[in-house]
Structure 1
């Protein structure tokens, strides 16, 4: 067990970064990540959105058999397209149609309905059992959520998110991430998050180690309802109190003040560190909520299974272009039409997602079983954790911040150990632990839980 100094004492590493709006512990993109970012093609993203819009409606209750119109046609096209990506992967990527029959729910599913996710799995080359998931939902709707016949273009909500997912699947199929990445256009979101809920339950039943999940939902426009534009910001919604928290975990959280340190919040801080930079051209604005008022997305399905998850959404929504019948009323155009999309913005959102996924999949995994020893009353802090399985693991860093700071501000290298003592009181600041590999890539932070013995 080592004793490490703190600010004003040898061993501390001050916060890094230039722009005051950038995260203090920002990580520089690797050369391979920069290559991945350069491969993102705005023309392909636009083509995907246009193709999805061309199916007329993609309502969950629309036709599953018509080859040109409805959700079935969209499903079959996405499966065929992503299968071509898998063909370029050297056997690393597989694509499947993940289906089940959803029975009537008395609300938005009136008859037994097949729900199908299109799932492309890119197996990791080093630690394949560690998994990261990215989704967008390919179903669409109009004003009446039960209207399965009228045109529901769904250009922004959510062909935009599906286009991001598919473009990253196309590019990353040609690369070899160390951990596994799952790229999944999901169905049934507008009717009740059904596709993502099915996927999350399957992962949980299989004991899959999903260490991060992101949904891209409404990421296609940069213009607000008042006409103002913000083409360089993407919101990331991340919950505080965990959805799946047990009563015992709630008692511990209240005792130590962990409301701002859920796994979802650590995931969001990581996104800021690796994707809020000049390489993506974007600012990631983390919103300390699970989702917007009266709204919900597919990340909630994963949060319910106790997986870290968060939602990307454009900075300012125009609600005349969501969940609306296509019409002109009082001279105003309503409907989720492709003419309101900003494809350059969408491409930068794809870069944020790529930087996030690539960094997660090639860095070490989030440390497990991180604890803070509380049996003895002292003014120092004892931390313990499990050593990760990565063959290129170099060691660990203890990070800390003032209790009023939103992001980690200081990192203290402690070496390839599984315990350390920090000469600083655990009562005054928040601590976390992250892993570092020999290339200098860092994992998301794990927030410690109290160990009473």
Structure 2
């Protein structure tokens, strides 16, 4: 594992960093490590999942806080969420999460190595601040089929544990595919045709997705995010029956009555590489990914 870290550092040393808080050199380093397993990091290949979990843990351990693994068993195999916690232990907490597994046999650069890379960079950036609340940065396993929408999702296991602890949760942010952007007309699709008139046909924005009645946390985050973002931001509040609104880990926090939202490049409504072998690192826009992370970072700093 140590040799892998050295190789990655050498590989990305010529990449110029985005001129913001987020470091695109580090984002690319994380993407290379997460997508570089010998086998796809799906539920069948626990060695690949554990390799990525070890990388995530290693990155978290460079920071000031507590790192733990939430290990659970499905069909006789062990799977793990990796959690980094910082801030006062007894304070209200914010959860920021992203899943590191993939669907079937594909590299999953956008889905969802991009979200995990953003998670790691956010942890690094926010670790330099003393905040009045606790933040749990959680890398989830088993978000993808065949366990999607089941109690075996890593985010279900984590949300359930917070519910059982009666934890005071400010809210949850799911980073779900944050690296794919297109400026051309006709590159953005929608679940309902009239939405194109409101949101446009260019896949050049980041979306903040919530359900109706999401509470004050969602309103505060959206307001902060729109002010902080240097790329276009589109807001969607919709009932769960709109396809895609609950297609990530935030779903499980809703199930337990917590406020949660998703920040996304809109997944399969834009990225034709979704769940395909073509979902590679070469399709991603690291500059705009850095801008997405920057806006989340600034938004969290401004939370009450």
* TM-score normalised by structure 1 residue count: 0.55
Give the superposed CA RMSD.
2.2
Q: Find out whether 1:162 has 2:116 as its counterpart.
A: yes
Q: Which residue of 2 aligns with 1:314?
A: 265
Q: Distance in 2 between matches of 1:116 and 1:122?
A: 19
Candidates 245, 254, 257, aligned match of 1:303: 254
CA contact (8 A) 2:177 2:266 kept: no
Greater helix fraction, Structure 1 or Structure 2: 2
Q: Which residue of 2 aligns with 1:61?
A: 44
Report the alpha carbon displacement of residue 128 of structure 1 after superposing the two structures with TM: 4.1
Q: Distance in 1 between matches of 2:219 and 2:234?
A: 10
Q: Find out whether 1:136 has 2:95 as its counterpart.
A: no
Candidates 74, 90, 94, aligned match of 2:52: 74
Q: Distance in 2 between matches of 1:213 and 1:192?
A: 18
- Which residues in structure 2 correspond to 1:248-327 (within 5 Å)? 262=213, 264=214, 266-277=216-227, 279-289=228-238, 293=243, 296-315=247-266, 317-324=269-276, 326=277
Greater strand fraction, Structure 1 or Structure 2: 1
Q: 1:141 to 1:224 in 2, by over 3 A?
A: farther
- Larger RCO (CA under 8 A, 6+ residues apart): 2
Larger Cα Rg: Structure 1 or Structure 2? Answer: 1
Q: Distance in 2 between matches of 1:128 and 1:174?
A: 20
Report the alpha carbon displacement of residue 230 of structure 1 after superposing the two structures with TM: 4.2
Structure 1, unpaired ranges of 5+: 1-36, 65-69, 103-110, 143-149, 241-261, 327-334, 364-453
Q: Could you list the per-position Cα deviations for residues 331-362 of structure 1 after superposition, in whole angstroms to 9, with x for gaps in the alignment?
A: xxxx21111111111111101211222222xx
CA contact (8 A) 1:239 1:289 kept: yes
- Which residues in structure 2 correspond to 1:35-184 (within 5 Å)? 38-56=20-38, 57-64=40-47, 70-85=48-63, 89=64, 93-102=65-74, 111-124=75-88, 128-142=90-104, 150=105, 152-184=106-138
Report the alpha carbon displacement of residue 153 of structure 1 after superposing the two structures with TM: 0.7
Q: Distance in 1 between matches of 2:78 and 2:54?
A: 14
Q: Distance in 1 between matches of 2:112 and 2:61?
A: 21
Q: Distance in 2 between matches of 1:336 and 1:80?
A: 25
| SS of 1:115 mapped into structure 2 | strand
* TM-score normalised by structure 2 residue count: 0.80
Q: Which residue of 2 aligns with 1:359?
A: 302
